[in-house]
């Protein structure tokens, strides 16, 4: 049994279609089918069934897939470890980050890391799907909001951040330091679209008090949200440290009294992923930065 056979088997499981899988791998469909038959002969069990025109995994196939993923991952971990030893801290580190934090928040962290690991290529991926990127091995590390426990992940708390109402200096409420929770329902807002992580957190908070925000404009860009708020189109609700990092004198932050919403940031990586020394250093620098930066 060869590692290439296992890798190709994983692709077939992802596609559940031999022709598409063969095209994705770059080999002919008959060659791929022959590889799968060879695996089935070696294991002594069928790995796939045909149900009508559909290809489905057998119970044995599902079990074999679980172990194939582990073996391929262990091999990649070994290669990563050897490459680190051979290349003197070279290589690439892929980090998944929420878009607004990447745009406004973590530049000093990246500069500090590069000063210590100048040979390591950092690839920053801006996404609202950081959790999935880490789980699917598309990112080595993710900076993400706290979520439900998952045994596949190592989760390290970074910080807890208070949300505030943000308005233009020309807004009617610009001279206020605090507002009550109920007052949030009376202000027109500019927000991220429904489904975005920060929007969901704020919406859930408002629902707890029996109302929804009066959102008159939605945009998926943090830069656009802030520009619209500065133009006095409406207010928005964002984490205070994020607004503070923007250093925009035209903005005013108004705290929400008694029970403001918070977001809890974590740094995450797969529990079975080999961490290079540079990856471990990035994690530690992130902890220090978000706690003291």
Q: What pLDDT shows up at residue 148?
A: 83
pLDDT digits (tens, 9 = 90+) for 50-83: 887 788 999 999 999 999 998 888 888 788 777 7
Q: Which residue intervals of the chain bear CATH 1.10.10.10?
A: 3-86
Which CATH architecture does the domain made up of 88-158+264-292 adopt? Answer: 3-Layer(aba) Sandwich (3.40)
Name which CATH class applies to 160-263.
alpha beta
Where do the CATH 3.40.190.10 domains begin and end in the chain? 88-158+264-292
Do 169 and 235 meet the contact criterion of CB atoms below 8 Å apart?
no
Q: Quote the pLDDT of residue 195.
A: 83
Extract the tokens encoding 121.
């290529």
From CA 135, how far away is CA 281, in angstroms rounded? 21
Determine contact, residues 113/277, Cβ cutoff 8 Å. Answer: no
For 127, residues 6+ apart whose C-beta sits below 8 A from its C-beta are: 96, 97, 98, 99, 133
Please tell me the distance from the alpha carbon of residue 291 to that of residue 293, in angstroms, as a whole number: 6
What pLDDT score does 85 carry? 59
pLDDT for res 60: 93
Tens of pLDDT, residues 162-195: 999 999 999 999 999 999 988 999 999 999 998 8
- The pLDDT assigned to 88 comes to 53
pLDDT of the residue at 127: 86
Q: Which of 160, 184, 177 is nearest to 253 (CA)?
A: 177
Every domain of the chain with CATH number 3.40.190.290 lies at 160-263
Token code pair at residue 102: 């990447």
3-86: in CATH 1.20.1250.20: no
Long-range CB contact pairs, 135-138, < 8 A, 24+: 135/270, 137/73, 137/270, 137/273, 138/94, 138/96
- 271 to 137, 144, 150: CA distances (angstroms): 11, 16, 10
Residues of the chain with pLDDT under 50: none
pLDDT of residue 84: 66
């Amino acid at each position: 049994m060869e590692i290439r056979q296992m890798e190709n088997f994983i692709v077939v499981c992802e596609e559940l279609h031999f022709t598409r899988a063969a095209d994705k791998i770059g080999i002919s469909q008959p060659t791929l089918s022959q590889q799968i038959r060879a695996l089935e002969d070696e294991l002594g069990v069928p790995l796939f069934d045909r149900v009508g025109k559909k290809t489905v995994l057998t119970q044995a196939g599902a079990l074999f897939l679980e172990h194939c993923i582990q073996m391929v991952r262990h091999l990649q971990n070994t290669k990563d470890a050897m490459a680190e030893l051979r290349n003197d801290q070279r290589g690439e580190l892929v980090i998944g980050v929420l878009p607004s934090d990447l745009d406004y928040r973590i530049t000093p962290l990246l500069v500090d890391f590069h000063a210590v690991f100048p040979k390591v290529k950092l690839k920053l991926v801006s996404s609202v799907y950081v959790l999935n990127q880490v789980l699917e091995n598309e990112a080595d590390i993710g900076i993400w909001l706290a979520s439900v426990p998952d045994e596949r992940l190592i989760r390290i708390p970074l910080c807890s951040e208070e949300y505030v109402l943000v308005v233009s200096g020309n807004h009617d409420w610009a001279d206020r330091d605090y507002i009550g929770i109920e007052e949030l329902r009376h202000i027109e807002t500019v927000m991220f679209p429904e489904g975005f992580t920060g929007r969901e957190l704020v919406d859930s908070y408002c629902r707890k008090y029996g109302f929804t925000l009066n959102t008159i404009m939605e945009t998926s860009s943090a830069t656009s949200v802030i520009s619209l708020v500065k133009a006095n189109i409406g207010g928005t609700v964002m984490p205070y440290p994020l607004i503070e990092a923007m250093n925009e004198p035209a903005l005013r932050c108004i705290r929400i009294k008694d029970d403001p919403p918070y977001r809890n940031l974590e740094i995450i990586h797969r529990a079975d992923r080999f961490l290079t020394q540079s990856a471990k250093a990035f994690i530690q620098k992130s902890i220090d930065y978000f706690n003291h930066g």
